[in-house]
Structure formats: C-alpha cells, structure tokens
C-alpha cells in the first residue's frame, strides 16, 4: 500500500466521526458514520475502504462500545461501495441515491441480527426508539428490530452516497487522479 493511501485511512475514518458536528447543526436524524468508508473505497479501492471501516469502528468503540460488533456492517459497506465505484454509480445523484438506498436495505439486514442477538436491539437512542415504535405497531421482536435498523439506515445511506458523490465531483481533477479509483467511480475514466 502506498504512503498516500495509508495516510488516507485515518483521515477518512476521522471524517466519519467528525461529520456528527455538521449533522447536529442541521438537526437531521442521520449518522453519516460510513461516509469515510464509502469515500475511501471510491477513492482507493476495497482494501483501503475495509481498513477505514475497521479503524472507524475501533475508534468509535472508545466513545460507544456498542459499535464494535457492527464492524461487519462497515466491511459490507466497503464491498458494496467498491461494486458501486466499479459500476461508475457515483457519476451523478440519479445513480448514487438509488445505490445508497440499496445499501440502506443491505446494511439494515446485516445489522439486525447483530443488534438482536448481542444487544437485544438496544444500541443507540434513535434506533431503540424506532424499535419500540415497531413493537408498539405489533411487529414481532426481530421484525421490530429490523424496522428500527431500516428506518435509520435507509435514508442515511442514500444521503451518504449523495454526499460522497458531491465530494468526488468537487475534487480537483489533479487531486482525484492521485487516487487509483476516483476517476473511475465518477465515470470519468
């Protein structure tokens, strides 16, 4: 791995963890905690993306330990983002947003069994509340757990994909060309 790609990993992981300040400012129910993973994958491929996801989970675990078991989700997000980058789905919002919605479904399907088996569906406040809502609607425990994950992940991943698309298009071509996958991800190579 080149030094530039090695330097990209902590920066991308820190982006995921620092974006909460921007989310707080606009008061939207979003996490954007996979932004760095998706961005690193779109710029530098699956190896860098997976490493970014693992590092993001490890560091986030020091703030909230319940994040660690969800490292699997970060790895799946990186693999999905790689497939999206290969297909050039970051070329416009029209292709990126549906891809993000697809990731939302996959991420919620992946995180539901972890959340259910390890934490009894109690991970973070927002998800626990939507899970409680699902339970109040008469869903079985696993169904309520999926409902909670789905509500939080579906929109979040679409916004994340749209944000990464914005970043990739806003990058100067000279900067983008320094990363092996950036131009291909936006369909420019």
Partner 1 sequence: MTGRRLHPFTLLAIAGALPALAWILPAPIGGACTAAVAFVLTLIPGARLTPGASPGFRGIGVSPGSRPGLVVFRTALLTAVPFWVFLRLLHDVPTTIAIGLRITTMVASFVWLAATLAPDRLVEATVARGWSVTAAYLFAATITAVPTLRDRARRIVEAQRCRGLSPRGSLGNRLRALRALALPLVLSALHDVDERALALETRGMVSGARRTPLAPPPDSAVERAARWALLAACVAALIWRFK
Considering the complex, what minimum distance in angstroms separates the CB of residue 140 from partner 1?
Answer: 12
Gap between the Cα atoms of 23 and 20, Å rounded: 5
Residue 123 DSSP symbol: S
CB nearer partner 1, residue 108 or residue 115 = 115
φ and ψ at residue 121, rounded to 5 degrees: 70, 10
Considering the complex, what minimum distance in angstroms separates the CB of residue 115 from partner 1?
Answer: 11
CB nearer partner 1, residue 97 or residue 106 = 97
Considering the complex, what minimum distance in angstroms separates the CB of residue 107 from partner 1?
Answer: 19
DSSP-based three-state secondary structure for 18: helix
Gap between the Cα atoms of 74 and 153, Å rounded: 12
Considering the complex, what minimum distance in angstroms separates the CB of residue 106 from partner 1?
Answer: 22
CB nearer partner 1, residue 58 or residue 79 = 58
CB nearer partner 1, residue 15 or residue 89 = 15
Considering the complex, what minimum distance in angstroms separates the CB of residue 110 from partner 1?
Answer: 20
Handedness of CA 181, 187, 188, 189 (dihedral sign): positive
Gap between the Cα atoms of 46 and 58, Å rounded: 18
Considering the complex, what minimum distance in angstroms separates the CB of residue 29 from partner 1?
Answer: 11
CB nearer partner 1, residue 39 or residue 76 = 39
CB nearer partner 1, residue 20 or residue 95 = 20
Tell me the DSSP string of 88-104.
TGGG-HHHHHHHHHHHH
Residue ranges that bind partner 1, judged by CB under 8 A: 1, 3-4, 6-11, 13-15, 17-23, 25-28, 30, 32, 35, 39, 51, 55-56, 58-59, 61-66, 118-122, 125, 128-129, 131-132, 135, 141, 144, 159, 163, 166-167, 170-171, 175, 178
Gap between the Cα atoms of 11 and 169, Å rounded: 19
Asked if residue 49 lies in contact with residue 37, where contact means CB atoms within 8 angstroms, the answer is: yes
How is residue 156 written in tokens?
């979040």
């Amino acid at each position: 791995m080149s030094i530039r790609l090695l330097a990209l990993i902590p920066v991308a992981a820190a982006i995921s963890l620092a974006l909460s300040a921007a989310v707080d400012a606009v008061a939207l129910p979003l996490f954007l905690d996979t932004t760095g993973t998706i961005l690193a994958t779109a710029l530098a491929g699956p190896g860098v993306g997976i490493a970014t996801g693992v590092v993001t989970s490890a560091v986030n675990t020091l703030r909230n330990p319940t994040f660690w078991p969800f490292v699997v989700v970060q790895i799946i997000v990186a693999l999905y983002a790689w497939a999206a980058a290969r297909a050039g789905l970051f070329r416009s919002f029209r292709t990126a947003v549906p891809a993000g919605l697809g990731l939302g479904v996959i991420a919620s399907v992946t995180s539901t069994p972890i959340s259910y088996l390890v934490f009894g569906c109690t991970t973070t406040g927002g998800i626990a509340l939507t899970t409680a809502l699902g339970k109040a609607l008469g869903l079985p425990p696993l169904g309520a757990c999926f409902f909670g994950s789905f509500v939080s992940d579906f929109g979040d991943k679409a916004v994340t994909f749209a944000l990464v698309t914005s970043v990739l298009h806003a990058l100067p071509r000279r900067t983008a060309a320094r990363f092996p996958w950036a131009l291909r991800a936006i369909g420019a190579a």
